[in-house]
C-alpha cells in the first residue's frame, strides 16, 4: 500500500530588518553621579529661598505687624484643614494596631526628648544655649504624615499603619508638645511662658476641633480640591518661615550664629537621626513586629514634622523663633534625603515570602521540591 507523505510547505523567506546600532554603553556610575541623581524637593528650595528673602528684605514696622497678623490667620487655617481632613472613622479603625501606634508615640515623645536632654552636655562647647533650645524643641515636635506615608509605601511597608501613626502623633502633638516644652524648656526660656499654652489652644487646638466638627460639610470639598489645599498648606508654612526669620534679622539674633556652630549643629543632628533610625528599626524587631510594621515604625518614629513644628515655635518663642526653628528646618532637609535613600534600598529587598531576585530558577525549583 502506497503511503503518501506530504512534505511540509516551505516557509516564505523574510529578510530580517537590519539591526539598529546599539547605543554606547553608559559610563559606570560613580558615587558622585548617584548623589547627583537624587531628587531635590522643590519645597526645600522654596524654604531656602524664603530664608534668603527674609535675610535681604526682612519685614519691619508696619510690614512686620501685617506679616504677623497674616501668619496668625494662616496657622489657624492650617490646623483647621488638618482637623477637617482627618477621618474620624479611619482614626478609630487604626486603633486596632495599638501596639504599633504606642511604639511610634514612644519614639516621638519619649526617646527623642531623652536624646535631646543628653545633648545638653554639648553646651556651650559645640552648641549655644539658643541652638540647644531649638534642638530640644525639635525633639518634642510630633511626627510627619505625608513623608512617612510616602517612604513607607516606597519601602513596601504597612501604609495604613503609617497613616494612622502619623495622624495620632499630630493630634497628640497639639497637646503634648506644649506641655513638654513647658516642662523641659522652663517658664523663662526663650520667651516661653504659661500664656503660650493659652495661645496654643486658641491658635492651634480650637481650629483643629472646629475642622473636625465641620468635616461633615467641608470634607467633600477638601477631597475634590486636594492639590489646591496642598499649596495653601505649603504657602502657610513659607509665610511662617518668612515672619520668624524676619524677626530674627531685625532683632540681630543671627549675629550670634557662626559657621562653626552651624557645622556642629549639623553633626549633632546627623548623629540624632542615625540613632533614631537604628533604635526604631531594631527596637521594633525586638518587640516582635514583622517587616511591614517595622518599616512603618522606622519612618514614622524617626521623623519630625516641619508643618506642625513651625507654627508652634512661632507661638512659643516669639522673637527668638528664628533660632528655634533653625534646627527643625535643618533636620527636615536631612531626614528627607536620608530616608529617601533608605526607602529606595528597602524597596529592592525581597519580602519574607518572595525569592531572592538574583537566585536562579533551577535553585528555587530544587528548594521547593526538597520541601515537598
Listed residue (359, 337, 355, 353) closest to 291, CA to CA: 353
Sign of CA dihedral 103, 106, 107, 108: positive
Q: What's the average model confidence in pLDDT over 308-316?
A: 79
Length of the chain as a residue count: 372
Listed residue (138, 115, 118, 137) closest to 184, CA to CA: 137
CA distances to 145, 213, 249, 270 from 320, in Å: 27, 34, 10, 24
Residue 179's φ and ψ, nearest 5 degrees, are -65, -40
Q: Which residue has the higher pLDDT, 363 or 40?
A: 40
Q: How confident is the model at residue 88 (pLDDT cuts 50, 70, 90)?
A: low
pLDDT at 161: 84
Average pLDDT over all residues of the chain: 77
pLDDT at 95: 65
Buried b (16+ CB within 10 A) or exposed e, 347-363: eeeeeeeeeeeeeeeee
What percentage of the chain has pLDDT greater than the value 70?
A: 74
pTM here is 0.70
pLDDT at 111: 96
Quote the CA–CA distance of 338 and 123 in Å, as a whole number: 27
- Please measure the distance between the N-terminal and C-terminal CA atoms of the chain and give it in whole angstroms: 53
Inform me whether the pLDDT recorded for 266 exceeds 90. yes
pLDDT at 282: 96
Q: What's the average model confidence in pLDDT over 349-368?
A: 51
Amino acid at each position: 500500500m502506497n503511503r503518501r507523505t506530504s512534505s511540509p510547505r516551505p516557509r516564505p523567506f523574510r529578510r530580517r530588518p537590519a539591526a539598529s546600532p546599539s547605543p554606547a554603553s553608559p559610563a559606570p556610575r560613580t558615587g558622585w553621579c548617584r548623589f547627583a541623581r537624587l531628587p531635590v524637593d522643590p519645597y526645600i528650595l522654596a524654604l531656602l529661598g524664603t530664608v534668603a528673602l527674609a535675610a535681604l528684605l526682612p519685614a519691619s514696622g508696619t510690614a512686620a505687624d501685617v506679616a504677623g497678623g497674616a501668619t496668625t490667620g494662616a496657622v489657624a487655617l492650617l490646623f483647621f484643614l488638618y482637623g477637617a481632613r482627618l477621618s474620624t472613622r479611619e482614626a478609630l479603625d487604626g486603633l486596632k494596631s495599638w501596639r504599633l501606634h504606642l511604639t511610634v508615640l514612644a519614639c516621638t515623645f519619649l526617646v527623642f526628648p531623652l536624646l535631646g536632654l543628653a545633648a545638653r552636655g554639648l553646651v556651650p562647647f559645640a552648641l549655644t544655649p539658643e541652638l540647644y533650645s531649638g534642638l530640644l524643641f525639635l525633639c518634642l515636635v510630633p511626627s510627619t504624615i505625608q513623608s512617612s506615608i510616602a517612604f513607607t509605601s516606597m519601602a513596601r511597608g504597612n501604609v495604613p499603619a503609617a497613616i494612622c501613626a502619623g495622624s495620632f502623633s499630630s493630634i497628640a502633638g497639639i497637646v503634648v508638645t506644649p506641655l513638654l516644652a513647658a516642662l523641659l524648656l522652663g517658664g523663662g526660656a526663650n520667651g516661653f511662658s504659661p500664656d503660650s499654652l493659652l495661645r496654643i489652644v486658641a491658635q492651634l487646638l480650637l481650629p483643629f476641633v472646629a475642622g473636625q466638627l465641620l468635616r461633615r460639610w467641608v470634607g467633600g470639598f477638601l477631597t475634590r480640591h486636594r492639590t489646591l489645599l496642598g499649596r495653601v498648606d505649603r504657602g502657610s508654612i513659607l509665610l511662617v518661615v518668612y515672619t520668624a526669620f524676619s524677626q530674627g534679622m531685625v532683632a540681630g539674633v543671627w549675629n550670634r550664629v557662626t559657621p562653626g556652630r552651624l557645622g556642629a549643629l549639623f553633626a549633632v543632628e546627623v548623629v540624632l537621626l542615625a540613632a533614631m533610625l537604628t533604635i526604631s528599626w531594631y527596637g521594633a524587631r525586638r518587640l516582635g513586629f514583622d517587616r511591614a510594621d517595622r518599616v512603618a515604625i522606622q519612618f514614622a518614629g524617626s521623623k519630625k514634622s516641619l508643618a506642625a513644628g513651625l507654627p508652634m515655635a512661632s507661638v512659643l518663642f516669639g522673637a527668638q523663633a528664628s533660632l528655634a526653628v533653625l534646627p527643625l528646618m535643618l533636620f527636615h532637609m536631612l531626614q528627607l534625603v536620608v530616608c529617601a535613600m533608605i526607602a529606595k534600598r528597602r524597596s529592592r529587598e525581597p519580602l519574607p515570602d518572595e525569592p531572592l531576585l538574583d537566585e536562579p530558577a533551577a535553585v528555587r525549583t530544587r528548594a521547593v521540591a526538597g520541601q515537598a
